[in-house]
Chain A
């Protein structure tokens, strides 16, 4: 089933980590195999923030293969060495969990494709997000468990999207969890609720164009599809509108960039979405109870129509 939620504050920052945790926890009945956050925090924009993993969570319910923890350290060493070779300086390093790391990197580049390809050529290493503001955090369990595990409740920023996942078409693991980074674009992330039926056709086309897929989760296609459209010169909104015909199936998805948040709904309108919009806040989720966790007072909400695409700026 899965549930998605997102919010964007316009003209101010807020405790988006805590707010999104509340929204996703309200949707936990839609799936708690894994939960993911894409948070756009307040930063000075000087350094890249790279969230990456060197292994999988092999806890209860995971479909991943158990590995010796020592391989995590080996992979981290190779990542550090590769960064050094590329002239990227690690300014700050955090290791929340043995397999999950956060680096702040001083690196001068605009095209992250080569950078990402070199890092991800290291076996077992996957970049979860890369950007000046974006941080993707995803792991097994419900929203509160993941939030507590990564201490996300104090993160202040402008906008965020998240996903509560019931695994149906791929494994229970971090690599299949949402959000997906819009590789190789800085600060682009995607969450999706639905099923895509032309996944393999699109994947083959996009791989031939040099795009990479880290999982076999159909939702990852949306991130790659939008990223490819943007590579070809389309705006975020144009790429999303194109996806209504390019992607086949039923879907509601959100895309976030450094300064915007967008939603798209397929032409069958088969997946739910409830939306609240005011001058200073947009909040949306698969169910109204998600919005109620941040806006308990009586509010006006509505369901976007079939084939609708909307984009908001901070």
Chain B
């Protein structure tokens, strides 16, 4: 009996050795970089090696709240981050509405077609989105040609260099890219609604809008709630790719969100240590938000999403 259990143990350890190389990859690419947070406490200036860097304690963290130039910059960056995330949160019901009304289309081929073409933008990269934006909205692009032909403007508008409505136009591009894809979750949820509910309501004389308001939308609210919590957990994580490709020297002030600011601080101005300090703070706040949103989800809906 004892022999069998040691044999079993040996086998389980042997299986562990099979997955060990993959675990090492996880350790190296996801856990080891955490060690890089120590850069925030040193005066690290590449290409000088890290071993020669001077320990400065909390100097960089203090500079984030004491240096007036930096404080002004950071306030603007936070404003941008909050504005973009708030726009996304405030319109997070759009995919649900999209799915609900798409479901009202009776012609199946048309519905399939709409679903296919509206999810397509999700699968092109941000560089391509920018290329599309560039092609359509530069001085000889389709938008300017059309407006000039119609006699609305005499001179081309430089849409991409514009400093007004940067938050809103970025939100528009994000929505263009994501709306159809985000709706898929809701479309699947609608398919799961019991048809008898609709039949019963119809017998009672409910019209289409009443069916939507009283059956479809209430059935989708749980899904909406979970996705909303995930959105809240990601409040500070706007990603940098979108804003990096759309940024230029004109709109930089309004387009720099935290993720992009972290990148620009290190790669643009070479302040690696400050950049690491900021991203460290960001990570901590993000984890707190995630845990908080998860707790809220547990309290209100009785299930967690982590």
Q: Do A and B bind each other?
A: no
B residues contacting A by CB (< 8 A) are none
Measured CB to CB, the residues of A under 8 A from B are: none
